Amino acid sequence: MDITLGCVFGFVVWFLIRYLLAGIYVIDQNQRAVITTFGRADRLRDATTLDLPIADALDEDEKERYAYPQVRVVQPGFYWKWPWQTVHRVSIATATINMAHDPEDPGANSNGTILEAVTKDQLNIGLSGQIRYGVSDANLYAYLFGVKRPISHVMGYFVSVLRERIANFESPPAPLVANVGDNVGTDGGVNYGVSINDLRKNLRDLNEHMDQECRSSAARYGMVLDASLITGIDPPDEVESALAAINTAHNQVSSDISLAQAAADQKIVQSKRAVEIETLKAQAEIEPLDRMATQLETLKTSGPGVLAAYVRNVRMSLFGRSERAFVEVNS
């Protein structure tokens, strides 16, 4: 009898520890979780990711392929689960990775340091930079169950978009300066059509384009590309010296054009000031005549003899100040 009671008591204790105490779990502040019951995630009825704002970045033909179900997300805290349930934890902390890193083959791309690409003028270049990414808690189903290795899909998508952009990149057209030349921009630069120089000058636009194109990664793979920072664009060693010579000539031409424009601007300013000075002198000479004409007009309207009296008084004043007077006498 004692043995039977001991077995029963031991079974109860084992059951409580195995299925009750072991069912308690904790979700940290930088974590989110999804609970599966017999392998099926706890879904929010018929809601899908197409009902969320992240689906706005998808094209119409992509929405049918990436319509993932919405699942119930477990927030940070203490919880308890049944023995037939499984907790799938995910860290939502932002991470940084080299843009040349290949999750499938770490030795690729010079051990994950340089990403190769081809420009529009068939020049092989090396790209270096970083990507900030994180898990989208609005689409945990795609991250946990949609694809096997989400980071591999995201990196592959990013690299394909970047190489496509590099291969078709053209420098934005700049307005021309009149009477200078067809290949001189307003900034004094010369457009030689060297794509690597254009890429370096428009590096900020390239990063913004990548951020815009990768907005759909949250709806595709459940991962958010927070930002891409392309820091270096290097040509092959055999063309580095040629590009350096082109850049030196470009800088020299730009300097000469800037000096010519500065001299022309200075002459224009001097001409404007000379015109203003001559205009003021002419106005200074005309002003007394205008005032005298106004006075004479006023005197004329005052009466028929006023103007004649005014002329006589002026003559008398002039005669009083003169030492000699020559009077014409009719013979």
Strand, helix or coil for residue 130:
strand
First to last CA, the chain: 175
Residue 187 has pLDDT above 50, yes or no: no
Confidence of residue 139 (pLDDT cuts 50, 70, 90): very high
Query: d(Cα 317, Cα 218) in Å, to the nearest integer?
Result: 99
Q: Which two tokens stand for residue 258?
A: 């800037």
* CA-to-CA dists, residue 25 to 17, 22, 36, 74, 88, angstroms: 13, 8, 14, 11, 11
Q: Following DSSP, what letter does each residue of 42-108 receive, concatenated?
A: -EEEEEEGGGSGGGGGS-HHHHTTT-PEEEPEEPSEEEE--TTEEEEEEE---EEEETT--SS-TTH
pLDDT of residue 186: 42
**pLDDT tens-place string over residues 211-221:** 888 888 999 99
Least confident stretch, 104-108, 155-159, 175-179, 249-253: 175-179
Give DSSP secondary structure letters for 243-310.
HHHHHHHHHHHHHHHHHHHHHHHHHHHHHHHHHHHHHHHHHHHHHHHHHHHHHHHHHHHH-TTHHHHH
Residue range 61-75: mean pLDDT, rounded? 91
pTM, two decimal places: 0.62
**Residues forming beta bridges with residue 91, ordered by sequence position:** 31
Question: Tens digits of per-residue pLDDT, 189-233?
Answer: 444 444 677 788 888 888 888 888 888 899 999 999 888 888 888
Higher pLDDT, 105 or 18: 105
Give SS3 for 169.
Answer: coil
Task: Taking the CA atoms of 33, 36, 41 and 45 in sequence, report the sign of the dihedral they define.
Answer: negative
32 has a pLDDT exceeding 90: yes
Give the orientation angle of helix 237-302 with respect to helix 306-321, to 10 degrees: 100
Torsion of CA 187, 192, 196, 198, to 10 degrees: 30
pLDDT at residue number 320 = 74
Distance CA 239, CA 245 (A): 10
Model pLDDT, residue 231: 85
CA 260/CA 254 separation, integer angstroms: 10
Dihedrals phi, psi of 65, to nearest 5 degrees: -80, -30
Domains present along the chain, CATH in parentheses: 24-233 (3.30.479.30)
Query: Is the predicted pLDDT of residue 170 greater than 80, yes or no?
Result: no
Higher-pLDDT residue of 312 and 325 is 312
**127 within 8 A of 206, measured Cβ to Cβ:** no
* Token code pair at residue 284: 């200074």
pLDDT score recorded for residue 145: 92
Comparing CA positions, the residue from 18, 145, 144, 35 lying closest to residue 86 is: 35
Please name the residues in contact with 145: beta carbons below 8 A apart, sequence gap of 6 or more.
41
For residue 94, what are the CA distances in angstroms to 31, 135, 155, 223? 11, 8, 15, 10
- What pLDDT score was predicted for residue 236? 67
